[in-house]
Amino acid sequence: MNTALKTIILSLLLLAAFDLSAQKDTTLISLIDANYTPDVVTFNNERIDVLKIDDVDVAPEYPGGSSALCKHLSYNIKYPKTALDQELKGIVILQLLILPDGSISTIRVAKSLSHECDKEAIRAARTLSKFKPAQKGGKPVAVWLNLPIVFDIY
């Protein structure tokens, strides 16, 4: 299969996974939210609460939307050689701390696939541009965003 087709397929898988992660009633989100503990971070020399995605009025948005996010990730993710050799497939779920200015402050693994795939997912997430920040009451707020990264072999 040629590289362009692989990229398109990976983009579609990422888009589907990202859209599923945004749904409030999925089992996947419930499992992640069950482990949620409120966080406080310092932003612009002020301590602010980090909200859950369900508690904001407007969710953070990547420039160009979820399709641009998936396209960016599909071009930037390099399948780890050891995972390819083992024909390892699955999903890494990252949690991104999106600050009120849209920048990503922290990236943590909520669901691991393997050390190599986790590391690659984090590396790719670090290449993302600023998001349009989440809002609560018309003001930008900090929020944890769940981002599934699909690793699949075609």
Residue 146 reports pLDDT greater than 80: yes
| Comparison of pLDDT for 19 and 44, the residue scoring more | 44
Confidence (pLDDT) at 110:
93
The residue ranges of every structural domain in the chain are: 3-151
Residue 68 reports pLDDT greater than 80: yes
| Average pLDDT of span 82-101 | 94
Token pair for residue 94? 């990252």
Confidence (pLDDT) at 21:
42
Cα 82 to Cα 93: distance, rounded to the nearest angstrom: 19
Residue 94 reports pLDDT greater than 90: yes
pTM, entire model: 0.75
Length of the chain, in residues: 154
Residues with Cβ within 8 Å of residue 151, at least 6 apart in sequence: 77, 79, 83, 88, 89, 90, 91, 92, 113, 117
Residue 22 reports pLDDT greater than 90: no
Confidence (pLDDT) at 42:
81
Residue 141 reports pLDDT greater than 60: yes
